[in-house]
Chains A and B, each alone.
Chain A
Amino acid sequence: MDAILLQILNGLDKGSAYALIALGLTLIFGTLGVVNFAHGALFMIGAFCAVTFTNLLTWSHVVIDDTRKDFLGNPMKVDVPYIIDWFGKETGEALIDWAVPLSILFAIPVMIAIGFIMERGLIKHFYKRPHADQILVTFGLAIVLQEVIKYFYGANPIPTPAPAVFAGSFDFGAMLGFDPNTIIYPYWRLIYFAFSALIIGAVFAFLQFTTFGMVVRAGMADRETVGLLGINIDKRFTIMFGIAAAVAGLAGVMYAPINSPNYNMGMDFLVLSFVVVVVGGMGSLGGAVLAGFLLGILESFASMAVVLEFIPGINQIIIYLVAIIILLTRPRGLMGRAGVMED
Chain B
Amino acid sequence: MLGLTKRDFGLMVVVAILALAAPFILNPFPQGSAMAQFNAGYPDLMQRLVIFGILAIGFNILFGLTGYLSFGHAAFLGVGSYAAIWMMKLLTMNVIPAIIVSVLVAGLFSLVVGWISLRRSGIYFSILTLAFAQMSYALAYSVLTPITGGETGLQPKTSDPRILDGALPAGQSPSANLFGFNMSDTSVLRLGDWSFNFNTGYYLAAVIMLIVFYLSIRIFRSPFGMMLRAVKSNQQRMNYTGLNSKPYTLAAFVISGMYAGLAGGLLVAMDTQVGAERMFWTASGEIVLMTILGGAGTLIGPVLGAGFIKYMENIVSKINKTVLEQWFAFLPDGIEDLLITLVYPFVGKGWHLTLGLLFMLVVIFLPGGLVEGGQRIGKLFRRKKTDTTTKTPPAE
B53 to chain A, nearest CB (A): 20
Interface size on B, residues (CB 8 A): 40
Contact B360 A144 (CB under 8 A): yes
Q: CB-defined interface of A142-172 with B at 8 Å, one 1/0 digit per residue?
A: 1110111001000000000000000000000
Contact B139 A313 (CB under 8 A): yes
A202 to chain B, nearest CB (A): 28
A208 to chain B, nearest CB (A): 27
Contact A132 B116 (CB under 8 A): no
Check if B367 is an interface residue, CB within 8 A of chain A: yes
**Please, how many angstroms separate the alpha-carbon atoms of A140 and B357 in the complex?**
7
Contact B143 A271 (CB under 8 A): no
Check if A35 is an interface residue, CB within 8 A of chain B: yes
**Please, how many angstroms separate the alpha-carbon atoms of A132 and B292 in the complex?**
11
Q: A141-B360, A271-B281 are in contact. Are A343 and B135 (CB under 8 A)?
A: no
Check if B282 is an interface residue, CB within 8 A of chain A: yes
Task: Tell me the chain B residues, 262-296 only, with Cβ under 8 Å from chain A.
Answer: 281-282, 285, 288, 292
Q: Across the interface, which residues of B come within 8 angstroms of A129, CB to CB?
A: 367
Partner of B124, one of A125, A144, A278: A278
Partner of B356, one of A141, A316, A324, A327: A141
Q: A125-B364, A141-B360, A144-B357 are in contact. Are A317 and B138 (CB under 8 A)?
A: yes
Q: A143-B359, A271-B134 are in contact. Are A323 and B127 (CB under 8 A)?
A: yes
Q: Across the interface, which residues of A come within 8 angstroms of B138, CB to CB?
A: 313, 316-317, 320
Contact A151 B350 (CB under 8 A): yes
Chain A minimum-CB-distance residue to B236: A343
Overall SS of chain B's interface: helix
Contact B292 A136 (CB under 8 A): yes
Q: A133-B363, A140-B359 are in contact. Are A341 and B131 (CB under 8 A)?
A: no
Q: Across the interface, which residues of B come within 8 angstroms of A271, CB to CB?
A: 130, 134, 281
B275 to chain A, nearest CB (A): 17
Task: Tell me the chain B residues, 44-92 only, with Cβ under 8 Å from chain A.
Answer: 67, 69
Check if B237 is an interface residue, CB within 8 A of chain A: no
Contact B363 A312 (CB under 8 A): no
**Please, how many angstroms separate the alpha-carbon atoms of A140 and B285 in the complex?**
10
Contact A148 B363 (CB under 8 A): no
Q: A147-B350, A313-B142 are in contact. Are A131 and B363 (CB under 8 A)?
A: no
Check if B314 is an interface residue, CB within 8 A of chain A: no
**Please, how many angstroms separate the alpha-carbon atoms of A274 and B134 in the complex?**
13
**Please, how many angstroms separate the alpha-carbon atoms of A143 and B360 in the complex?**
10
Check if B122 is an interface residue, CB within 8 A of chain A: yes
Check if B24 is an interface residue, CB within 8 A of chain A: no
Contact B122 A131 (CB under 8 A): yes
A168 to chain B, nearest CB (A): 32
**Please, how many angstroms separate the alpha-carbon atoms of A125 and B364 in the complex?**
9
Contact A320 B134 (CB under 8 A): yes
Q: List 9 A-B contacts (CB under 8 A).
A: A122-B364, A139-B285, A151-B345, A278-B124, A282-B123, A320-B131, A321-B135, A331-B124, A341-B123
**Interface of B with A (CB < 8 Å)?**
67, 69, 116, 119-124, 126-128, 130-132, 134-135, 138-139, 141-144, 281-282, 285, 288, 292, 345, 350, 352-353, 355-357, 359-360, 363-364, 367
Q: 3 nearest interchain CB pairs?
A: A313-B143, A143-B356, A316-B138
